Structure 1
């Protein structure tokens, strides 16, 4: 079996066909039409199994049966098969997600809250930081030592919230990053306390309205991992701990 054929079989299986169904369907397209014996000669499916597989494919609308002796099979066109499988995929997708939505909306009598979430990968951390900053009503503290972690989207969000009246503070031990933060309209930029400037694993910090916090680290391979929490006891306690250092910083304002 060639690599292309193997890939095609796997793709058909992901679309809901069994391995035998995919093989018979492909085999019939290879020969145009034929009996169970003809199909078994070109695909790795026992002749005794071809009959049941063909019956299932007929029920799916993927082949036609000629009531002759012996019975002959002919596949529907590629375009027709593609449309059938697409419709089936969309139908199953709607059925699956409709159920999930119903389950999500139904109260189960228990209150569950995940206080701490983990996000991996800088792109995903970017998105989470922007989401948290966008929700700020009163106050933001954002810091990073790495220029690439102060993205254009984050910078724009900091300026947008500052324009909306939010108190926005930028923190960085890297002069270039601090300068860029300071150039943002409405953002006050500061260096962190001296005892916090030698941390070469830190990524980003974001504190929003004193009840949401995100902290990230960057490993030796450059992969960023963050933990974040919002509206939780964990977030409240962690923000208070961070503010012990922040108080020293803000006293210089």
Structure 2
């Protein structure tokens, strides 16, 4: 990482551009006046004072009331601790507000739309986790032949749901038997000659016969670069049709 990257990273942590440049310059200088910092950066001298004062308020810079005023950065460990704490506090304030806004919005708004699209494996993981947590009666979870859509966290959640009395059926290859051994999760193996075995299947999730999520992977030569896109719907006509189609494709043994 070079200096511009470091300055950008500090900005991502909440510093202004001038604050990041002044703090970085002081790390090189050790101790310096506003003139020293100005000469070491492209920050106007008149702006160094304000940036240094803000850094002092953040606990990142010490000030010596001499003539001229001298500035010195705190230790990197102290700076890391201050920035981490400030980032966490800012994050909590933001998410507290978002939670409040969500509660004011009320429940059920998502269900007013027929179908939703989710892009990216991490986002889909989060949506699947939420759907599994909301299950009250039955979950059917199908994955492609390499089971890449089944993370350890999702597997643990399905075991917990099965232990709590929710019927959980997982469909995939023979490796799933080992993953869910000694649990109440039912495993159904897809035959090797299944006609859809070569499709870029991501995941198929049906919860309580009223919510469905389907995803596909954009397969690439490098598996790490695979992408995933999902659609999901709940308590809608589209969800009912999709669940009927899945039911017909899977057969009576795993009727959803």
Which whole-Å deviations, capped at 9, do the CAs of 1:122-168 have from their partners, x for residues lacking one?
566566556645655544544455143584765993897499473x6
Q: TM-score, normalised by structure 2?
A: 0.66
State the 1:103 CA deviation: 1.8
Q: Provide the rounded CA distance (Å) in 2 between the counterparts of 1:235 and 1:117.
A: 11
**Aligned residue for 1:207?**
206
Aligned twin of 1:5: 3
Question: Structure 1 residues 212, 158: CA separation in 2 closer, same or farther (over 3 Å shift)?
Answer: farther
CA contact (8 A) 1:159 1:187 kept: no
Match of 1:229, SS state, is: strand
Please identify runs of 4+ aligned residues in structure 1 that moved more than 6 A: 177-181, 183-186
The 3 A distance-change label for structure 1 pair 66 and 161 is closer
Q: Does the residue aligned with 1:26 lie in a helix, a strand or coil?
A: helix
TM-superposition CA deviations, 1:176-226 (whole Å, max 9, x none): 579989x9978484869x995476344433333321222222333253432
Matching residue within 93, 107, 110 for 1:113: 110
Is the alpha carbon distance of 1:148 and 1:53 closer, same or farther for their aligned partners in structure 2, counting shifts above 3 Å? closer
Contact kept? 2:132, 2:157, Cα under 8 Å: no
1:20 aligned to which of 18, 21, 43: 18
In the alignment, what sits opposite 2:223?
A: none
One of 247, 250, 253 as aligned partner of 2:252:
250
Gaps of 5+ in 1: none
- Matched residue, 2:158: 157
Change (3 A) 1:219 1:45: closer
Does 2:224 correspond to 1:225?
Answer: no
Q: Give CA deviations for 1:31-81 in whole Å, capped at 9, x if unaligned.
A: 34343323323223233433343344344442314242xx22222422444
Deviations, residues 14-46 of structure 1 (Å, cap 9, x unaligned): 232222222223333433434332332322323
Task: Check whether the contact 2:23–2:73 (CA below 8 A) recurs between aligned residues.
Answer: no
Q: CA deviation at 1:9?
A: 1.8
Task: Specify the alignment match of 2:69 in structure 1.
Answer: 72
CA RMSD of aligned residues (A): 4.4
Counterpart residue number, 1:234: 238
Q: Secondary structure at the match of 2:87?
A: helix
- Deviation (angstroms), 1:232: 3.5
Q: Using structure 1 for the length normalisation, give the TM-score.
A: 0.67
Unmatched runs of 5 consecutive residues or more in structure 2 = 221-225
- When the two structures are aligned, how many residues end up with a matched partner? 242
Deviation at 1:13, TM superposition (A): 1.8
